[in-house]
Structure 1
């Protein structure tokens, strides 16, 4: 039986650079799948009020879900061996953090 996943499209383009840079960067458009509903997770992260802004909560949620999905799909990769236990503990702590409404 095929696993069900959600399919996403992400477009990343540079709007301004921190340093003078005449390089023209082509935007990156990426299609990927994830077993979780990332948009739902973004909303939950915003409600936890862990960061200074909702944008930071969105950046964190998207980055975390993309990273964790790659790690999951490459669970046999030695690169993640030492990191996996700490990441597991981090995720338990994050999931136990109450939303703003629960405080």
Structure 2
């Protein structure tokens, strides 16, 4: 299967109390996805169901999670969750479609 390749970078800025981060490392890794995450983000943003920052976090998190789950679907943890995840994705697609039309 042909896949899109991505570099993900995460930097901790502040702790839960708003104090500057004590972490000096930046988490960076390469990953891949069968979907174009930027197009997924555009669809979620166009639905206006979430504000811009939440849409970015949701789209990236969802697609990173779902790709790992699909690649490891034989693991009991993911295998048991697949039916519910399928329902969630159908509901998400319907929500995005409805929001864009409305």
SS of residue in 2 equivalent to 1:96:
helix
Whether the aligned pair in 2 keeps the contact of 1:5 and 1:35 (CA below 8 Å) is: yes
User: Which consecutive residues of structure 2, in runs of 5 or more, have no partner in the other structure?
Assistant: none
Post-superposition CA distance 1:17-44 (Å, at most 9, x none) = 2245773341111110111000110111
TM-score of the two chains, using structure 2 as the length reference = 0.88
Whether the aligned pair in 1 keeps the contact of 2:11 and 2:25 (CA below 8 Å) is: yes
Whether the aligned pair in 1 keeps the contact of 2:45 and 2:55 (CA below 8 Å) is: yes
Q: How far off is 1:80 after superposition?
A: 1.3
Instruction: Give the count of matched residue pairs.
Output: 100
Q: How far off is 1:5 after superposition?
A: 0.6
Q: How far off is 1:99 after superposition?
A: 5.5
Q: Is 1:85 matched up with 2:71?
A: no
**Please, what is the CA RMSD of the aligned residues?**
1.7
User: Which consecutive residues of structure 1, in runs of 5 or more, have no partner in the other structure?
Assistant: none
Larger fraction in helix: 2
State the distance in 1 between where 2:67 and 2:52 align. Answer: 22
TM-score of the two chains, using structure 1 as the length reference = 0.87
Aligned to 1:44: 43
Q: Which stretches of structure 1, 4 residues or longer, exceed 3 Å deviation after superposition?
A: 19-23
Aligned to 1:96: 94
| Matches for 1:1-103 after TM superposition, within 5 Å | 3-19=1-17, 20=19, 23-51=22-50, 53-97=51-95, 98=97, 100-103=99-102
Whether the aligned pair in 2 keeps the contact of 1:49 and 1:99 (CA below 8 Å) is: no
